[in-house]
Structure 1
């Protein structure tokens, strides 16, 4: 069997090896606008194609390579993967309204049309219309962001008309993570609650929940928020079950039938509400770390769903089970500085629960104050059988950052933002 991976960037760079472990060969297709911030390993492919503007031309090339399955690797490959699957007649997603899997406003409309709770939303290139909409909503703050970007790119929390105008202008003046100019702005009702993500794989419309994590975020300058740390939930936890029961109908509403999905959900006082759903693998993670701590990872689960669809259809594909306490911590630079090199990381690596680290900005390169995922220097995994050790090492990591880890200093250590009622993970 041969699978075409569209934009094997970021987390998808691990997919070719996983597919080959399960007996599937790969070819690679590069879309016109991949996310250049993400890692990519062209050496993993013997066939590496640049997509033609006409999907039929690219599909003919894939047909000649014997491709039987097409899958999106990164967000930039979602629409192209759908178009190529449709051209080839291979297992794919529904094509009633494929744009709803990329355009976040169309996404909300499709999910709401299925009777699933969503946030009040508006898509507009007119700042004054957005100001009027927010005033009518009467629930400050409101969230502004691009309609089709990824990560935490240009996400603003606005409590006044002036802030809305400023954020609206900033978004329209910028490009998204794929180098495309933002031409409209998505405004959404602020969702107060605990944010989670649910990673799934699907085959022939049957969905399998691989893992569920909780985000912890913190405010950032300029009305933004940044991801602080994440931890996995036990899938038999009542909260996890509630989130899964919400997400599976969302996948149906978006016609996600084959491949992976990464769905972000806010658990509010009125119940789960969609933040957004991406029809591809979840973002920055190390699969070998996730498998070590949870027994399986989404990359391997996707490879199995492609190679052996019966494992999804008959329910024998494994799901995550928490084998140890695990915390994924985003590195946060408090100001301008430099990414440490070599021994500069020794104090961090000496933390008793330190497991692994990924740098998204190379050692020795300058850093600015972290405002989003793009400006984060990377991430660290902390893991231990003792949850108290993980919590203590997290606090120590933040102290090291504020004490000049990047040559940037701040006045006081940041507190652990985990709510008192939440279990320490």
Structure 2
């Protein structure tokens, strides 16, 4: 039996934990912080864990872990990445990433700086703690938009696309000194060149420094009047797509340069006129994934692959040895709900209409019926995600349009 500690088993980490449990692994859970956003605990099932702990300091956590004789420690969500690295280093476990580059896998300035030093294409950037320095750097760029965001965040939290200097200053002041959704104070602000192109996700799972591609996804995002961006559609593409090989080749170089040797990686990559350029990468599973959807669309998927690499590494190594790319079995859209007015969340009528859609597969609501619903401005304020799966892409496109029509009419919201 394999003993696995999951640090912050939230987001898609909930489903990774379930899959590991199905494989017969013995699970413990560790919350990296006693103060976590309520968003993370939606759907969290503590019953599959033998024990649940909360991290206060490294020595007390290591002491509490001693009886468990842990074999593998893995982050379930972004907030657990740094603590996972630290525990792996202290315990000397083999299923781990390079300790020296741990911070560069979380700090977005260090991340881009690291791949730049490795000779990979990257955005121009500057990290500052005062507006005067930021303003000076922006003026040297001589072009807009400029991206303004925290150094350590997730889910588009605090990310602004700014069309001019005044918008940059407003965004800078919105970010600096605030505490983000990972409960980290924004002591500096990251300013970056805006990358023009089509954005993709490249998900991989590594074992012993070799990586398996599980998904390449095309993003569609929506730019709000505030300058914030929200996710709209995630569309899985086939390995035969024209951009696939180049995206994968570039991302493998990024993964290597940042010391990701074992476990999942979730890279957001802009395909520009000069080729792929990293937006950011995370050493954890893609937060929007659902293993049942992946089984329908590729037969495997990142969550299942991570579980396999831990519970049955020899089987995973066989997949690596085959060198085969995944094949798209069915089309899929992950549709992120975008609410535009405050109100009260009502799911009954919406769910009844969703079920009637030919491509409907699953819906995940992040709010309870009757709960207050705010305006969507990042992943954390999305009311839910609808998963569409079908052999006919045209059917999915038609059903997507119907979802947006229902949403515009306020079907899941009482004012």
Shorter-chain TM-score bucket reads over 0.9
Compute the displacement of 1:141 (Å): 0.4
Distance in 2 separating the partners of 1:344 and 1:299:
28
SS of the residue 2:175 aligns to: helix
Is 1:385–2:391 an aligned residue pair? Answer: yes
Deviates more, 1:144-153 or 1:348-357: 348-357
Consecutive aligned runs of 4 or more in structure 1 exceeding 4 Å deviation: 316-319
Structure 2 counterpart of 1:330: 336
Deviates more, 1:157-166 or 1:399-408: 399-408
Distance in 2 separating the partners of 1:172 and 1:82:
27
Structure 2 counterpart of 1:152: 156
Distance in 2 separating the partners of 1:258 and 1:233:
25
Distance in 1 separating the partners of 2:262 and 2:16:
15
Distance in 2 separating the partners of 1:130 and 1:36:
33
Structure 2 counterpart of 1:64: 67
Deviates more, 1:202-211 or 1:143-152: 202-211
State whether residues 289 and 303 of structure 2, in contact with CA within 8 Å, keep that contact through their aligned partners in structure 1: no
Compute the displacement of 1:224 (Å): 1.6
- Residue of structure 2 aligned with 1:285, choices 268, 285, 289: 289
Structure 2 counterpart of 1:17: 18
The 1:408–1:115 alpha-carbon spacing in structure 2 relative to 1, beyond 3 Å, is farther
Distance in 2 separating the partners of 1:225 and 1:289:
25
Distance in 2 separating the partners of 1:132 and 1:306:
48
Structure 2 counterpart of 1:220: 224
Is 1:171–2:172 an aligned residue pair? Answer: no
Is 1:90–2:96 an aligned residue pair? Answer: no
Structure 2 counterpart of 1:412: none
Distance in 2 separating the partners of 1:47 and 1:175:
29
SS of the residue 2:382 aligns to: coil
Compute the displacement of 1:320 (Å): 3.7
Structure 1 counterpart of 2:352: 346
Distance in 1 separating the partners of 2:411 and 2:288:
22
After superposition, give the CA deviation of every residue in 1:40-90 in whole Å (9 maximum; x if it has no partner): 221110111222412x44234334212111111111110111111111111
Deviates more, 1:348-357 or 1:150-159: 348-357
Superposed, 1:309-328 pairs within 5 Å as: 309-314=313-318, 315=320, 320-328=326-334
Distance in 2 separating the partners of 1:407 and 1:276:
34
SS of the residue 1:77 aligns to: helix
Structure 1 counterpart of 2:243: 239
Is 1:268–2:272 an aligned residue pair? Answer: yes
Structure 1 counterpart of 2:117: 113
Compute the displacement of 1:325 (Å): 1.5
State whether residues 9 and 35 of structure 1, in contact with CA within 8 Å, keep that contact through their aligned partners in structure 2: no
Query: Which residues of structure 1 form unaligned runs of 5+?
Result: 410-425
- Residue of structure 1 aligned with 2:260, choices 256, 260, 271: 256
Compute the displacement of 1:351 (Å): 1.7
Compute the displacement of 1:329 (Å): 0.5
Compute the displacement of 1:298 (Å): 1.1
State whether residues 347 and 412 of structure 2, in contact with CA within 8 Å, keep that contact through their aligned partners in structure 1: no
State whether residues 71 and 81 of structure 1, in contact with CA within 8 Å, keep that contact through their aligned partners in structure 2: yes
Is 1:51–2:52 an aligned residue pair? Answer: no
Compute the displacement of 1:23 (Å): 3.3
The 1:367–1:35 alpha-carbon spacing in structure 2 relative to 1, beyond 3 Å, is closer
Distance in 2 separating the partners of 1:128 and 1:373:
30
After superposition, give the CA deviation of every residue in 1:93-151 in whole Å (9 maximum; x if it has no partner): 11123110110001111111111111001111111211211110112000001110100
State whether residues 204 and 302 of structure 2, in contact with CA within 8 Å, keep that contact through their aligned partners in structure 1: yes
After superposition, give the CA deviation of every residue in 1:148-200 in whole Å (9 maximum; x if it has no partner): 01001011011222111100010125321122221111111000011011111
Distance in 2 separating the partners of 1:131 and 1:237:
41
Distance in 2 separating the partners of 1:105 and 1:341:
40
TM-score, normalisation: structure 2: 0.94
Structure 2 counterpart of 1:421: none
Distance in 2 separating the partners of 1:42 and 1:237:
40
Structure 2 counterpart of 1:422: none
SS of the residue 1:288 aligns to: helix
Distance in 1 separating the partners of 2:313 and 2:84:
19
- Residue of structure 2 aligned with 1:137, choices 135, 141, 144: 141
Counting matched residue pairs gives: 408
SS of the residue 1:157 aligns to: strand
State whether residues 334 and 408 of structure 1, in contact with CA within 8 Å, keep that contact through their aligned partners in structure 2: no
CA RMSD after TM alignment:
1.8
Query: Which residues of structure 2 form unaligned runs of 5+?
Result: none
SS of the residue 1:116 aligns to: coil
Structure 2 counterpart of 1:27: 28
State whether residues 211 and 319 of structure 1, in contact with CA within 8 Å, keep that contact through their aligned partners in structure 2: no
The 1:63–1:316 alpha-carbon spacing in structure 2 relative to 1, beyond 3 Å, is farther
State whether residues 202 and 312 of structure 1, in contact with CA within 8 Å, keep that contact through their aligned partners in structure 2: no
Structure 2 counterpart of 1:362: 368
